[in-house]
């Protein structure tokens, strides 16, 4: 029997924990399409507009907003209701001139935080791959699918970059090292802002572990569960 391919439907009960909604109210919910974020760590744009921001009461109103090009994600107009939106993504509402950033809370749910500060929008992205191109240039790939070409850099896998929209210009670099501030994006301590106390290098069989410190508390987590960030970001005022 031939494969049926990807399922287009999503039952509410099996939806990602990143969504905060009454799972028993409706049998079906919108499924995110493939994109820059995984299904478990993202929500579809229609969910952000209707359920998280309350800008629409039904799908038809959401489609009207998107077709009128009133919604931007990370500096680019998005018109697909199923486009996946994840942690640190920036939502711009053109009509009201409001700007929001998505961030995990301590229950693994994505929440929106309004950004009051002026200036160009930016996103913190984690480097997941580093390669040397022909000619000696360095190519960095981030967790949200952005490819950055640099002549020379000390950045490597696990570090983070601050990208300014919409050009994806690198305006900040954050290395994963002792003393760096990180935001936990997976595991038991998701949603916590902490500092790196120790990095325990892994090997082919074991993941690299990071000992994090938050006040008097200390805990271990795999390096894949953290993102090095700028602790002065406005959204972290509520999670310190």
With a cut of 70, say whether residue 238 has pLDDT above it.
no
- For the stretch 123-175, pLDDT in tens is 999 999 999 988 889 999 999 889 999 988 899 999 999 999 888 899 999 99
Query: Can you give the CATH number for the domain in which 63 is found?
Result: 3.10.290.10
- C-beta neighbour count of 138 within 10 angstroms: 17
197 plus 219 within the same structural domain? yes
Go through 103-124 and write b for each residue having 16 or more CB atoms within 10 A of its CB, e for each that does not: bbeeebbbbbbebeeeeebbbb
**What pLDDT, on the 0 to 100 scale, is given for residue 3?**
57
- Give this prediction's pTM: 0.87
2 falls within a domain: no
Quote the mean pLDDT of the chain: 88
**What pLDDT, on the 0 to 100 scale, is given for residue 6?**
65
- Band of pLDDT at residue 2, cut at 50, 70 and 90: low
5 falls within a domain: no
16 plus 107 within the same structural domain? yes
194 falls within a domain: yes
Contact 106, 82 (CB under 8 A): no
- Band of pLDDT at residue 88, cut at 50, 70 and 90: very high
Which residue range is the domain that position 160 belongs to? 122-174
Cα 82–chain centre separation: 16
């Amino acid at each position: 029997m031939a494969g049926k391919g990807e399922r287009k439907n999503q039952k509410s009960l099996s939806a990602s924990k990143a969504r905060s909604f009454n799972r028993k109210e409706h049998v079906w919910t919108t499924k995110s399409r493939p994109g820059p974020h995984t299904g478990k760590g993202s929500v579809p744009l229609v969910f952000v507009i209707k359920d998280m921001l309350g800008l629409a009461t039904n799908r038809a109103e959401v489609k009207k907003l998107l077709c009128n090009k009133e919604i931007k994600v990370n500096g680019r107009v998005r018109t697909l209701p199923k486009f996946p939106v994840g942690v640190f993504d920036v939502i711009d509402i053109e009509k009201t001139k409001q700007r929001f950033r998505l961030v995990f809370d301590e229950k693994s749910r994505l929440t929106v935080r309004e950004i009051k500060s002026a200036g160009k929008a930016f996103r913190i992205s984690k480097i997941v791959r580093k390669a040397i191109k022909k000619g000696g240039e360095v190519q960095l790939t981030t967790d949200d699918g952005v490819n950055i070409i640099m002549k020379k850099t000390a950045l490597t896998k696990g570090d983070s970059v601050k990208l300014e929209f919409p050009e994806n210009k690198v305006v900040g670099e954050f290395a994963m090292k002792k003393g760096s501030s990180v935001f936990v994006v997976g595991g038991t301590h998701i949603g916590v802002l902490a500092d790196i106390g120790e990095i325990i290098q892994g090997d082919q069989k074991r993941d690299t572990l990071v000992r994090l410190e938050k006040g008097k508390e200390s805990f271990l987590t795999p390096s894949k569960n953290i993102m090095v960030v700028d602790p002065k970001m406005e959204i972290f005022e509520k999670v310190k």
